[in-house]
Amino acid sequence: MKKRVALARSIIFDTTKESIEPEVLLYDEPTAGLDPIASTVVEDLIRSVHVTGEDAVGKPGKIASYVVVTHQHSTIRRAVDRLLFLYEGKIVWQGMTEEFTTSTNPIVRQFASGSLDGPIRY
């Protein structure tokens, strides 16, 4: 519930006051610690407040750009269109969400499969 309230607070705007609406929202691990059902609710909320292209211009509460920092597969699949995969502080892969699970990058493959074998060491 706290995550949903925090999400709601970040996207609610008072249209009676002159205020600057954010051009980009940052979600830092929005589904961390949530069960799968609550995660789905938050992922759907993230998607529902974002619009693209011409539809985003001048509409209160509609944010065209957002950044999601996550380690959750469901959030990757449900809440984003494009990915930047970071490893040791460097971008090692970037692409569209649908390309994530078919990437040939060994770091991405290991992460996507959850394997202990590969270049990512713990």
Tens of pLDDT, residue by residue over 31-74, are: 999 999 999 999 988 887 776 555 545 555 566 688 899 999 89
- Flag whether the pTM goes above 0.85: no
pLDDT > 90: percent of the chain: 48
Per-residue pLDDT at 18 exceeds 70: no
pLDDT score of 25: 80
Cβ atoms of 97 and 73 within 8 Å: the answer is no
pLDDT score of 9: 57
